[in-house]
Amino acid sequence: MVKMVVIPLFFIAALLCSPSSRAADFCVGDLKGPTSPAGYSCKDPAKVTVDDFVYSGLAAVGNTSNLIKASVAPAFAAQFPGLNGLGISVARLDLAPGGVIPFHTHPAGNEVLIVLQGVICAGFVDTANKVYLKTLNKGDTMIFPTGLLHFQVNGGGSLATAIVSFSSSQPGLQLLDYVLFANDLPSLLVEKTTFLDDAQVKKLKGALGGTN
């Protein structure tokens, strides 16, 4: 009899203590308040409306007239407050012919990419330096695990569009090229750590706005 009582009580306690057990239905982000790795503080529930749960920023093709010939329109907590605290977010990718999303990483979220139109060559590299590379067509889906360097390149002759989703409302983003060449990290250190020569480093810094 004791065992029959203890086991149900154990499962009830586990459910009450699980991450899915929440005191509130949602936590719409208060964008006027401070943010932290955990997200934004909650907006006053009395001021929450249906518009907090609707976002139209992914409807239009983005501007691809830039160095990488690509556009990324994020719908993270900062753009879509209703996502705050839910552990999800989305973004739209548009790649013109020749467009590329350079090697980058999302330190706080897994990524799922779904191709809506065009052809995208995508891949990632794991911590053993194994390359996972695939040419994706309309309707194809690919996963990029948290923290691993990955990229997307337009693999066709027309506009390519994809929707990506993340397992975080703030997945974070670091672009490798920008980490190396778009700041004031001394060129000498970049040369030593990348094995590039001075002319190459200065050319890339000039293209991406880096100094020093």
Q: Looking at residue 105, which CATH number applies to its domain?
A: 2.60.120.10
* Nearest alpha carbon to residue 48 among 20, 91, 84: 84
Do 167 and 194 lie in one domain? The reply is: no
Q: Tell me if 104 is assigned to a ligand binding site.
A: yes
Do 198 and 144 lie in one domain? The reply is: no
Q: Tell me if 69 is assigned to a ligand binding site.
A: no
* Nearest alpha carbon to residue 98 among 161, 163, 153, 61: 153
Q: Tell me if 52 is assigned to a ligand binding site.
A: no
Q: By residue range, what is the domain housing residue 186?
A: 179-208
Give pLDDT tens digits for 150-190. Answer: 999 999 999 999 999 999 988 989 999 999 999 999 999 99
Q: Which helix (H) or strand (E) holds 74?
A: strand 70-75
Q: Tell me if 150 is assigned to a ligand binding site.
A: yes
Q: Tell me, what DSSP letter sits at residue 61?
A: P
Q: How many structural domains are present in the chain?
A: 2
Q: How many helices (H) and strands (E) does the chain have?
A: 4, 12
Do 91 and 115 lie in one domain? The reply is: yes
- Is the pTM for the entire model greater than 0.85? no
Torsional sign, CA 175, 177, 181, 187: positive
Give pLDDT tens digits for 94-133. Answer: 999 999 999 999 999 999 999 999 999 999 999 999 999 9
